[in-house]
Structure 1
Amino acid sequence: MTKQKASYYEKLSADYSRPNLVPPALQAELIEFGERIVAMKEEELPTIDSNYTLAQIEKENREWWPTHCEALRQGRGDILTGEYRNDLVYFCQDGPYQGVEQQKEREKHWWALIAQPGVTMCWPIVMFYGEHTYFEWKCVDDITNETLAKGNVTWVRRGHRGGCYLKTEQLTFYRDVFAEERLLKLIQT
């Protein structure tokens, strides 16, 4: 029996699988909600128990997901960094990084490249399971439709109260590896 294909964005507040699917008013709401989510992060990683269940954490991760996508599209490095715990472990081909300071300079270049004008980042696949969020992304040139970069990522995120404490990522950049200074200036920190 073949499983019927369905949108990965079914039951989420916004669809980031392709460009131009999220209206401006919703974009603004998602940025505001993303700022509120960052402020909910607690100093200590909350315990998973009967008061904070995996089901609640997965629900919160589903709420958070569109805010993360919009923050990346708008180059909101302040929100993106705020999503991480201070003791983040980040595995990628340039890493490993530990803590939010180690990866900050390198990740700023990645954000500048994927949020540059004339490029739209899309996440065609996103899946949730408890604390785990897996997604695949690509950046598409708005004029030529070429893929500038792509990757797949897994976040281990303890909902709004905990934030991301483990991130694994495979990135492939086709056109650029380091962002020009003019693009770096577009990233809010």
Structure 2
Amino acid sequence: MPARRNYYLNLKANYSQPGLVPESLRQELIEEGLKYVAMKEATLPAIDANYTLGIIEQENKDWWPTHCEALRQGRGDILTGEYREDLVYFCQDGPYSGLEQQQEREKHWWALIAQPGVTMVWPIVMFYGEHTFFEWKCVDDETHETIAKGNVTWVRRGHRGGCYLKTEQLTFYRDVFAPDNLLKLITT
């Protein structure tokens, strides 16, 4: 049997459970997330000798904690900025193509998973070239119940490319549509 592993070994922050990311690091990760979004090029960059899968994988590892922090803080501006304009998004009520089709639905998901009193965690994250696979769940801070969970694969061409394919299985246990007061907490 293979040895168990810490999926966050050598990453800047550990989002596998609540309470592991120091307050002093959170704003730094948001600033890095904004910087990575700004690096996205209009044309998907080629994988070549100057931009290898190794470089892309390292950029995805650097990006990962910024993505987690953006979700925890409800930063829809960063989350949307991570996607390419020609995003393909497969999920149970998709598929979606481009940034407009999933926008209405996804803002409800973000509002529910980033709501006050709930902490999103990612117990598993794995990287392979431009592929990032992760499992997530949202835990009620008071009752410790899982209110939602899922698994996702992003195909992300590093900072220069952004995410062009996302596949997701998600399950909500309590709510499916967010009330207006939660929707207003998501930065647009």
Q: Fold match, TM over 0.5?
A: yes
- Aligned equivalent of 1:166: 165
Return the letter of the residue paired with 2:18: P
- Aligned equivalent of 1:18: 17
Supply the RMSD in Å over aligned alpha carbons: 0.4
**Residue 14 (structure 1) shift:** 0.1
- Aligned equivalent of 2:64: 65
1:75 paired with 2:69, answer no
Identity of aligned residues (%): 78
Distance in 2 of aligned mates of 1:46 and 1:178: 37
Distance in 1 of aligned mates of 2:150 and 2:72: 15
TM-score normalised by length of structure 2: 1.00
Q: Once superposed, which parts of structure 1, at least 4 consecutive aligned residues long, lie more than 4 Å away? A: none
- Aligned equivalent of 2:146: 147
- Aligned equivalent of 2:102: 103
- Aligned equivalent of 1:33: 32
1:122 paired with 2:134, answer no
Structure 2, unmatched stretches of 5+, are none
Distance in 2 of aligned mates of 1:133 and 1:6: 17
1:183 paired with 2:182, answer yes
- Alignment: residue pair count: 188
**Residue 50 (structure 1) shift:** 0.2
**Residue 6 (structure 1) shift:** 1.4
**Residue 152 (structure 1) shift:** 0.2
**Residue 67 (structure 1) shift:** 0.2
Return the letter of the residue paired with 2:164: Y
- Aligned equivalent of 1:88: 87
Distance in 1 of aligned mates of 2:23 and 2:102: 31
TM-score normalised by length of structure 1: 0.99
Distance in 1 of aligned mates of 2:170 and 2:126: 18
Distance in 2 of aligned mates of 1:42 and 1:24: 31
Distance in 1 of aligned mates of 2:5 and 2:171: 27
Return the letter of the residue paired with 2:117: G
Distance in 1 of aligned mates of 2:23 and 2:39: 25
Question: Which secondary structure does the structure 2 equivalent of 1:170 belong to?
Answer: strand
Distance in 2 of aligned mates of 1:86 and 1:149: 27
- Aligned equivalent of 2:48: 49
Question: Which secondary structure does the structure 1 equivalent of 2:65 belong to?
Answer: helix
**Residue 47 (structure 1) shift:** 0.1
Distance in 1 of aligned mates of 2:10 and 2:4: 15
